[in-house]
Structure 1
Amino acid sequence: MEQQQLQELLTKLHAELEHVETVDESTVAVLAQLREDIQKLVHEGDAHIKEPEPVSERLGEALKHFETDHPRLSLAIQHVLDSLARMGI
């Protein structure tokens, strides 16, 4: 059940990312990393991602980056983080 819910949340997050108008290089970089992370989670799952910085940490950083200017995107990121936490990821 959690895996299916995570898939739905990732799909919603991806849709929100598509609506963000990028305005600076920092935002472009954060968006690119989020898109890459979402693709990896959707296709491979977190267990297969072997990187120095966990996806949940990058999502947390993205949450801070977007919370002021993009509240809907921030909310979607928070839902994904909550789901990952419930799954122990």
Structure 2
Amino acid sequence: MRTVRYQPPYGNHVFIDTGAEIVKLAHLRRGTVTVSAGDLVRAGQVLGEVGNSGNSTEPHLHIHAERDGLGLDLEFTGITGPLYRGRTVRT
């Protein structure tokens, strides 16, 4: 775990350092983050709840991945059909 804190515009967020990439999860609900800076995390672990903190107009999870400061294309597996605003996704 790289950072866990509140910072505009991300709001409550978790930044995960994979060793090669940084994965940013932002706009988490206040008081729901379950990890601390320096923690090791595993696939499937709950890190927090979707919220509306920071520069946000509605509850959502902002996911961003980057390597060397450049954004990466993300691919979500196990999700069928198109992703669109307001869709609930459960895996």
TM-score when normalising by structure 1? 0.27
Larger Rg: 2
TM-score when normalising by structure 2? 0.27
Q: Which has the higher helix share?
A: 1
